[in-house]
Amino acid sequence: MKLLRYGPSGEERPGLLDGEGRIRDLSAIVADISGKTLSRSGIEALRRLDPAALPLVADPVRLGACVAGVGNFIAVGLNYADHARESGLPIPDEPVLFNKAPSSISGPNDPIIVPPGSSKLDWEVEIAIIIGEAAYGITEADAPGVIAGYCICHDVSERAFQNERGGQWTKGKSSPSFGPLGPYLVTPDEIANAQDLALWLDVNGVRMQAGSTATMIFGLHFLVSYVSRFMRLEPGDVITTGTPPGVGMGQKPPRYLQPGDSVELGIAGLGSQRQRVQAHG
What is the tens place of the pLDDT at every residue in 52-87? Answer: 999 999 989 999 999 999 999 999 998 998 777 877
pLDDT of residue 244: 95
Q: From the centroid of its chain, how far is CA 247?
A: 16
pLDDT of residue 112: 98
Which among 51, 62, 60 has a CA at the least distance from the CA of 9?
A: 62
Which among 116, 24, 129 has a CA at the least distance from the CA of 67?
A: 129
Enumerate residues 6+ apart whose C-beta is below 8 A from 26.
Answer: 3, 13, 14, 15, 16, 33, 46, 54
DSSP string, 134-160: -BSS--TTTGGGGEEEEEEEE--EEHH
pLDDT of residue 85: 80
User: Per residue in 227-236, pLDDT tens?
Assistant: 999 999 999 9
Residue 138 belongs to a domain: yes
Question: What's the pLDDT band for 36 if we cut at 50, 70, 90?
Answer: confident
Contact 185, 67 (CB under 8 A): yes
pLDDT of residue 82: 78
Residue 86 belongs to a domain: yes
User: Per residue in 246-257, pLDDT tens?
Assistant: 999 999 999 999
Residue 274 belongs to a domain: yes
What secondary structure letter does DSSP report for 195? T
Identify the CATH number of the domain in which residue 181 sits: 3.90.850.10
User: Per residue in 97-117, pLDDT tens?
Assistant: 999 999 999 999 999 999 999
Enumerate residues 6+ apart whose C-beta is below 8 A from 78.
Answer: 84, 87, 89, 91, 92, 96, 217, 242
* Domain limits for position 185: 67-278
pLDDT of residue 225: 98
Round the average pLDDT of the chain to a whole number and report it: 96
pLDDT of residue 56: 98
Residue 188 belongs to a domain: yes
pLDDT of residue 119: 97
Residue 2 belongs to a domain: no
Note the maximum CA span of the chain: 54
Residue 23 belongs to a domain: no
Contact 95, 65 (CB under 8 A): no
Ranges of beta strands (E only) in the chain are 2-6, 13-17, 23-25, 73-77, 96-99, 105-106, 112-113, 121-122, 125-131, 147-154, 157-158, 179-180, 185-186, 198-203, 206-212, 238-240, 262-267, 271-278
User: What is the average pLDDT across 180-196?
Assistant: 97
User: Per residue in 122-142, pLDDT tens?
Assistant: 999 999 999 999 999 999 999
pLDDT of residue 146: 98
Residue 167 has pLDDT above 80, yes or no: no
Share of the chain above pLDDT 90, in %: 93
Q: What's the predicted TM-score (pTM) here?
A: 0.97
**Alpha-carbon distance 118 to 104, whole Å?**
15
Enumerate residues 6+ apart whose C-beta is below 8 A from 51.
Answer: 16, 18, 19, 24
User: What is the average pLDDT across 145-174?
Assistant: 95
CA distances from 210 to 121, 144, 201, 243, 275 (A): 19, 26, 7, 10, 18
Residue 189 belongs to a domain: yes
Residue 15 belongs to a domain: no
Give the number of domains in the chain.
1
The one-letter amino acid at 46: L
- On the CB side of 246, CA atoms within 13 Å amount to 18
Beta-ladder partners of 74: 99, 239
Contact 156, 180 (CB under 8 A): yes
